[in-house]
Amino acid sequence: MPLHHENRHVNSIRWQRRHIGAHTILIVWSFLVLFPLWVMIVNSFKDRLSIYQNPFWLPEKWNFSNYLAVLRDGDFINYFKNSLIVVVISLALVLLIGALAGFAFANWRSKAAHMLFFFMIAGMMFPIKIASIKLLDMMRQLRLLNSIASLIPIYTAMGIPIAVFVLTEFIKEIPIELTEAGIMDGAGRFRIFGTIIIPLIRPALATVGIYNLVPFWNDLWFPLIFITDERSKTLLLGVTRLFGQYQTDWSKVLAVLTLSAIPVIALYLAMSKQFIAGLTAGAVKG
């Protein structure tokens, strides 16, 4: 066998071994991620006794009464609406402020800009929960307690640091010639931002949106601190009503959690291509 054919064969074997190892890791990781979802979904269609008898397999008899009870008797629709309003407004503000700040930092080259940029992304290093007592006092002074409006500025502040960091670096990769061409055509800064920058950073916007969606939607800490009014409770805070002192109806709890996971999964599936493009942007040259 010629030497170059032998080397090609050896390289092919090495390539296959590397890919077999990578695929094995991905399969194991996928199982670890999907297994809790499987347990949650299949048990949401069981009664309380069936959950304890066979928690990991399909129900012998599919029980849809859990979902009907949650939708009919509980305040699930109201909780869902409150969570949806808070998350949509918060994400919109995070993306808008982050994109505007990223556009400014990408074009403003000075020591003051660098200092302000690092000041803003410093929020990524400090969890906002350490200021819970002060935030509670601020919301009390603003008369926002027991209102979903109290959560919007908190979530916006939580999401801005990572949004500014990701979008600034993404905008810096856009060729400066595009902006200069817009200026030569008489376009102002806001027109350049809306017609040139925004279409090009959609993958980064999707990445930031999905990255912040999960902690916003699943947050229980701040609703638990700020909200006691039943009408203003968010979805996960409303789930706590199903936990009793002596017993808990886990079938209904899992039904609510399954329904609450649908928006996150649906958004990810709808924006998965943009999300993956944003994560891999710049990873491959040429």
Q: Looking at residue 1, what is its pLDDT?
A: 47
- Over residues 73-99, the mean pLDDT reads 90
| Spatial separation of the C-alpha atoms in residues 107 and 50, rounded to whole Å | 61
| Spatial separation of the C-alpha atoms in residues 177 and 17, rounded to whole Å | 44
| Spatial separation of the C-alpha atoms in residues 219 and 47, rounded to whole Å | 28
Q: Looking at residue 284, what is its pLDDT?
A: 41
Dihedral angle sign, alpha carbons of residues 177, 183, 184, 185? positive
- Over residues 27-52, the mean pLDDT reads 84
Q: Looking at residue 94, what is its pLDDT?
A: 95
- Over residues 6-20, the mean pLDDT reads 60
- Structure tokens, 113: 């800009």
| Spatial separation of the C-alpha atoms in residues 248 and 12, rounded to whole Å | 56
| Spatial separation of the C-alpha atoms in residues 149 and 219, rounded to whole Å | 15
3-class state of residue 64 by DSSP: coil
- Over residues 161-170, the mean pLDDT reads 90
- Over residues 62-74, the mean pLDDT reads 79
Q: Are the beta carbons of 136 and 197 closer than 8 angstroms?
A: no
pLDDT tens for each residue of 93-121: 999 999 999 888 888 877 887 888 888 88
The answer to pTM > 0.95 is no
Q: Looking at residue 197, what is its pLDDT?
A: 86
Pairwise pLDDT comparison (232 vs 248), residue with the higher score: 232
The yes-or-no verdict on residue 76 having pLDDT over 70 is yes
Identity of residue 277:
A
| Spatial separation of the C-alpha atoms in residues 218 and 237, rounded to whole Å | 10
Within 8 A by CB and 6+ apart from 71, the residues are: 77
